[in-house]
Amino acid sequence: MSRKTVTERKFMVATAVVWFMLSIVLPIINRPNVHIAGIPLLWFWVLIWVFVVPVLLTLAYYMLEVKP
Amino acid sequence: MIEATIATLIIAVTLAITFIIGVLAYRLRIKVLRVDTYMVAGRALGFIVTFLNMAAVIYSGFAFLGASGWAYAYGAPVLYIWIYGALAYTFAFFFAPRIWETAKGQGLLTQADFFMWRYGSRLLMVLTALVGITFNIPYGQLQILTTKYVLDLSTYGALPTLHVAVVSFVVVMIYVFLGGMVSVAITNVFLGAIMLAAMLGGGLSLIFYYYGGLPGLFAAVEAASPKHAYLWAAVGRNSVQWVITAAVGCGLGFWVWPQLAQMVFPARDAKVLRRSITMTSWYHVLGILWASLTGLVALGLGMKLAVADHAFLALIRDTFGPVALGFIGAAGMAAALSSAAGIILTQASLLSRNIYQGWIKPGASEKEVILVSRLGIVIFTVISVILAYTAPAYIVYLLLVGYTGITQMFPGWVLGSVWKWITKEGVLAGLIAGLVMGVLTCFIWPDYLGVHSIIWGLMFNLPITLVVSRITYRGG
């Protein structure tokens, strides 16, 4: 198995973690009146995790296509 | 009156620039018009064009009006839009290059071409083409109505907005008719760029102007309506299980829409495609997130809106005046019309390539296929215009079931590209079961138990596809 394939599989696993967090775990975290930095808990974590996606994909693009 | 003139002038100039770019793209970029040039721009698009073309088609008028309207009306359930976009881009990063390689190698021009090549079934090809055409019909009409809503607010009621929206739609379809994907893609660079500037600039400026940042915004929302800040426990559209299933269902169905498949094929190579998808994920978090939060701004201010979808534009109008309204309105119109261009071109391509050349007249020449494509653009434009004026009730049903119906092609489109043992019998049986279940959970038992109808459809579709495929697979 090539190094690029191994790296790609690692990013697939990271993607699966993102899917699990965003679609299952975060909607369940839904406690009212709990805030982080003044933002309701649910909104805060969804905001953080949706920003994780482009960062992850940028990193994946760099490692798979620019410096494989 | 002067306010209406300023805003209308900015919107009219934007439309004129769009038209000029579209026609120039046709005149200057197309030397010989072939079928692959017309439908997938000769698979020659570089990074910037692929990226912004994709973004402009994906983010329709809904990004401007619907998302902020949802936040205004429901609050936290709008997060499903943030989530499913993020899920869809991670999925596309791995899936799209694979499908692009297949399309390039096999000369595929439409999504239905894939079904013909992969399963060797003309029935499946025609069926998927018909599903793609039918479920997109309300979306063409919807873009006209979105343009009308934008104009309603931007022109301060000074113009007959439905007529003007129809004229704008027809103007766009002229360059789609002439240059096909080449004109669509190049104009979408312009339209996609102003859309992003408007969503990010408009959203952030409203949040900081009124509340100084997100903590202030959420404090105001919780004071005005605490239930908007979190998901409700009750079963229904605002429940936890609805958000989970809607996000997963839409995330899976996102790249099954035939117009998105057709935005993938024009990329010059797989690397360009991956780079474009990565940038479109940035577009998502920098664009629609901030546009949707404007709905909460309106809520926090205690604005009473007769139509929730007016939130973003009404705020811009009341806060920053006619010049800003003109620019944001132009971007809203750009969002609607750029998506309409992609949708109508895709419908015309499915009609000419898969219904006409693939079924009615297999020996049709390139010239004939282009002719039928152009005829298709005229036909679907006329249908959209008629529906915009008549707005029949059944079209609403088609719209409601659209995402659910399209997503039922997921097993055939995605699993079929990964596993060779998926058979046409399995895909056909799963598709029919998924469509039936999707329709039932859309209309008879809407989102039964708070679970989105997409997932109900897939819960029947996927096992049936897999089991029937296992039984009917003969190897080789």
Q: What is the pLDDT of residues B85-140, one digit of tens each?
A: 999 999 999 999 999 999 999 999 999 999 999 999 999 999 999 999 998 988 88
Check whether residue B117 and residue B153 sit in a common domain: yes
Check whether residue B132 and residue B8 sit in a common domain: yes
User: Residue A29 pLDDT more than 90?
Assistant: no
Among residues B351, B366, B390, the one where a domain terminates is B390
Stretch 33-92 of chain B: residues touching chain A, C-beta under 8 Å:
76, 79, 82-83, 85-87, 89-91
Mean residue pLDDT of chain A comes to 92
Distance of alpha carbon B232 from alpha carbon B239, whole angstroms: 5
What's CA B349's distance to the chain center, in Å? 17
Q: What is the pLDDT of residues B267-280, one digit of tens each?
A: 999 999 999 999 99
Q: Of B39-43, B72-76, B422-426, which range is least confident? A: B72-76
Tell me what pLDDT residue B263 has: 94
Q: What is the pLDDT of residues B284-323, one digit of tens each?
A: 999 999 999 999 999 999 999 988 888 999 999 999 999 9
Distance of alpha carbon B430 from alpha carbon B462, whole angstroms: 6
Check whether residue B386 and residue B399 sit in a common domain: no
Which of B50, B79, B90 to mutate to test binding with chain A, by most A CBs within 10 Å of its CB? Answer: B90
Stretch 275-294 of chain B: residues touching chain A, C-beta under 8 Å:
275, 277-278, 281-282, 284-285, 289
Tell me what pLDDT residue B395 has: 66
Distance of alpha carbon A30 from alpha carbon A33, whole angstroms: 10
Check whether residue B26 and residue B112 sit in a common domain: yes
Q: Which of A37, A39, A57 sits opposite B278 (nearest CB)?
A: A57
Pairs of residues, one from chain A and one from chain B, whose beta carbons lie less than 8 Å apart: 110
Q: Which residue in this structure is represented by tokens 């997060």?
A: B79
Q: Which of B87, B93, B222 sits opposite A60 (nearest CB)?
A: B93
CA distance A24 to chain B (A): 6
Query: Hey, what are B272's tokens?
Result: 């360009």
Q: Among B259, B261, B239, B242, which Cα is nearest to B250's?
A: B242
Q: Note down the domain range covering B299.
A: 2-390
Indicate the residue type of B182. V
Which of A11, A13, A23, A36 to mutate to test binding with chain B, by most B CBs within 10 Å of its CB? Answer: A23
User: Residue B4 pLDDT more than 70?
Assistant: yes
Tell me what pLDDT residue B396 has: 66
CB contact under 8 A, B215 and A37: yes
Q: What is the pLDDT of residues B158-191, one digit of tens each?
A: 788 899 999 999 999 999 999 999 999 999 999 9
Cβ contacts of B248 on chain A, cutoff 8 Å = 23
What residues form DSSP beta bridges with A35? A40
User: Residue B426 pLDDT more than 90?
Assistant: yes
Check whether residue B379 and residue B413 sit in a common domain: no
User: How does residue A68 score in pLDDT terms, banded at 50, 70 and 90?
Assistant: confident
User: Residue A40 pLDDT more than 80?
Assistant: yes
What is residue B241's three-state secondary structure?
Answer: helix
Tell me what pLDDT residue B234 has: 58
What is residue B213's three-state secondary structure?
Answer: coil
Check whether residue B378 and residue B331 sit in a common domain: yes
For B215, nearest residue in chain A (alpha carbons): A38
Dihedral, CA atoms, B359, B363, B368, B370, nearest 10 degrees? 60
What sign does the dihedral B57-B60-B64-B67 (CA atoms) show? negative
Check whether residue B26 and residue B170 sit in a common domain: yes
What is residue B9's three-state secondary structure?
Answer: helix
Tell me what pLDDT residue B393 has: 64
Q: Is B223 exposed, middle or buried (0-12, 13-18, 19+ CB in 10 A)?
A: exposed
User: Residue B235 pLDDT more than 80?
Assistant: no
Tell me what pLDDT residue B150 has: 87
Q: What percent of chain A lies above the pLDDT cut of 90? A: 76
- Domain range summary for chain A, segments of one domain joined by +: 3-66
Q: Among B222, B200, B219, B223, which Cα is nearest to B211's?
A: B219
Cβ contacts of B89 on chain A, cutoff 8 Å = 53-54, 57
CA distance B29 to chain A (A): 29
User: How does residue B233 score in pLDDT terms, banded at 50, 70 and 90?
Assistant: low
- DSSP one-letter code for B45: B
Check whether residue B139 and residue B263 sit in a common domain: yes
Which of A28, A50, A52, A61 to mutate to test binding with chain B, by most B CBs within 10 Å of its CB? Answer: A50
Check whether residue B400 and residue B335 sit in a common domain: no
Check whether residue B311 and residue B401 sit in a common domain: no
- Please, are residues B76 and B296 in contact by the beta-carbon 8 Å criterion? no
Q: What percent of chain B lies above the pLDDT cut of 70? A: 97
CB contact under 8 A, A43 and B289: no
Stretch 17-36 of chain A: residues touching chain B, C-beta under 8 Å:
18-19, 22-24, 26-28, 30-32, 35
Tell me what pLDDT residue B141 has: 86
Cβ contacts of B289 on chain A, cutoff 8 Å = 47, 50
Q: Is A64 on the interface with B (CB under 8 A)?
A: yes
- Please, are residues B133 and B139 in contact by the beta-carbon 8 Å criterion? no
Q: What is the pLDDT of residues B8-43, one digit of tens each?
A: 899 999 999 999 999 999 988 878 889 999 999 999
Largest separation between any pair of C-alpha atoms in chain A: 50
CB contact under 8 A, A54 and B215: no
Q: Which of B214, B247, B281 sits opposite A39 (nearest CB)?
A: B214
Check whether residue B344 and residue B429 sit in a common domain: no
Among residues B358, B373, B390, the one where a domain terminates is B390
Q: Which of A50, A60, A65 sits opposite B285 (nearest CB)?
A: A50
Q: Is B219 on the interface with A (CB under 8 A)?
A: yes
Domain count, chain B: 2
CB contact under 8 A, B94 and A42: no
Check whether residue B298 and residue B405 sit in a common domain: no
Q: Which helix (H) or strand (E) holds A36?
A: strand A35-36
Among residues B349, B367, B390, the one where a domain terminates is B390
Q: Which helix (H) or strand (E) holds B361?
A: none
Cβ contacts of B94 on chain A, cutoff 8 Å = 8, 11-12, 15
